[in-house]
Amino acid sequence: MTCYDLHSHSIASDGALSPEDLIARAIAQGVDVLALTDHDGTEGLVAAQLAAQNTDLTLIPGVEISVTWAGGTVHILGLNVDANNATLQQGLMKMRMFRIERANKMAERLEKAGIAGALDGARKYSSDVMLGRLHFAQFLVEQGHAKNISDVFKRFLVRNKPGYVAGEWANLTDAVSWITAAGGQAVIAHPARYKMTATKLRRLITDFKEAGGVGFEVVSGRQHPEEVKNLARLAEQFELLASCGSDFHTPDNAWVELGNLAEFPKSCVPIWSTW
Ligand code: AMP
Ligand code: MN
Ligand code: MN
Ligand code: MN
C-alpha cells in the first residue's frame, strides 16, 4: 500500500533536518508520497524536489500557513501549491515580516524577564529563513530555563507568559485564497490540537469551506484513535477530503516519525484521490 505523509517540516522553518536529509529519512521510513509543508514559506521546496528526483519518493510541494481565526491560531496546509505563484508569495512575505518583528519583541520581553541574548540564541537554531517560537524554545532549554520543549511552551512562550507576543497572522479567507490561487488545495491542519468545542470547530469548518477550503487532516502524528474517528465523521458530514500527515519536525521526538501514522479511516475520501 502506498504510504502518504502529507505534513512535514525542514530547516526552512522549525524542522531539524535539511530538505535533503528529510527526503532521505522519509525514504528510509517507507514513505512513498511526502509533502514538505514548512511554516509560512516555501524556501525548502527546491532542494527537496531536487533530492527527490531519481528516487521512488514523490514530493508534494506544500506550505503550512498560520492563521488568526476567532482570536486564536489555526494552521492551514496548502498541498500541491505552485511555489512560484505571486499571490501566494506576496501573502507569505507579509508573514515573514511579521515573524521578524515578533522575534525582536519576543527577545525584548525575555530580556525584561532577565533572559538576555535570546534573539542571537534562537537564531543559532534556525537557518535564517524563518524564526519561530520553537527556535526560542531550544535556546531557553539550552540555557537551563526549562527542562524540555513542552515545559518552555507552558512557562514562557504562550499567552500571559514572558516570551509571548500577540499578533495577527493571516486571516482565514486570505490564506485559503493564496493557496487556491497557487493551484493548491487548502487543508485544515491537526484539527484536534486546537482544543475547540465541537460547535466552534464546526464554525471553523463552515468558514473554511466558504473560503474555498477542501481538506481536513483526519490523521496526524501522535493522535488518539478516538480522535481520528471523530475527525473522520466531521470530514464526512462536511464533505471534506481527508488528509494524513505526521507533522514531523525532528528525529529527537520519538513519538512523531515520518510515515508513522494511524490507519486511514475507510469511510473517508482521501485527498489524493483527486490528484
Ligand atoms: P510559531 O509558528 O513560531 O508561533 O511556533 C509554532 C510552532 O511551535 C509549532 O509549529 C510547533 O512546532 C511548536 N510548538 C508549539 N507548541 C509546542 C509545544 N507545546 N511543544 C512543542 N512544540 C510546540
Ligand atoms: Mn512547527
Ligand atoms: Mn501546525
Ligand atoms: Mn506542522
Domains of the chain, CATH where assigned: 96-155 (1.10.150.650)
Helix axis angle, 45-52 to 19-28, nearest 10°: 40
| For range 104-122, the mean pLDDT | 97
Residue found by looking up cell 500500500 in the block: 1
Pocket test for ligand 1, best of 9, 10, 104, 133 (most atoms within 8 A of CB): 133
Position in ligand 1 atom list of the atom nearest CA 134? 8
| 224: pLDDT strictly greater than 90 | no
Tell me the per-residue pLDDT of 245-274, one tens digit each, with 9 for 90 and over.
Answer: 999 999 999 999 999 999 999 999 999 999
Cα 16 to averaged position of ligand 4 atoms, centre (Å): 13
The per-residue pLDDT for 222 is 85
Ligand nearest to the CA of 190: 3
* 75 CA distance to ligand 3 middle (Å): 5
Task: Give the pLDDT confidence of 186-204 residue by residue, as tens digits.
Answer: 999 999 999 999 999 999 9
Q: Report the pLDDT value the prediction gives residue 246, as an integer from 0 to 100.
A: 98
- Global pTM value: 0.98
Average pLDDT over residues 168-172: 96
On the question of pLDDT at 167 being above 90, the answer is no
Q: What is the pLDDT of residue 225?
A: 86
- Minimal CA–CA distance to 90: which of 126, 61, 65? 65
250 Cα to the center of ligand 4, angstroms: 11
The pLDDT mean for the chain works out to: 97
Quote the ligand 2 centre to 139 CA distance (angstroms).
Answer: 15
Question: Considering the chain, what percentage of its residues have pLDDT values greater than 90?
Answer: 96
Q: How confident is the model at residue 223 (pLDDT cuts 50, 70, 90)?
A: confident
Is residue 35 pLDDT above 90, yes or no? yes
Query: What pLDDT is stored for residue 128 in this prediction?
Result: 85
Percent of the chain with pLDDT over 70: 100
Question: Per-residue pLDDT for 235 more than 90?
Answer: yes
Tell me the three cell numbers of residue 3. Answer: 504510504
pLDDT at 34: 99
Better-predicted residue by pLDDT, 167 or 162: 162
Q: Whose CA is nearest to atom 12 of ligand 1?
A: 134
Q: What is the whole-number distance in angstroms between the Cα of residue 251 and the centre of ligand 3? A: 17
- Structure confidence at residue 100 (pLDDT): 95
Residue 150 confidence (pLDDT) above 90: yes
Q: What is the pLDDT of residues 56-71, one digit of tens each?
A: 999 999 999 999 999 9
Residues having CB closer than 6 A to ligand 1 are: 14, 39, 66, 132-134, 149-150, 153, 249
Q: Which residue has the cell 524540555?
A: 148
> How confident is the model at residue 259, as a pLDDT?
97
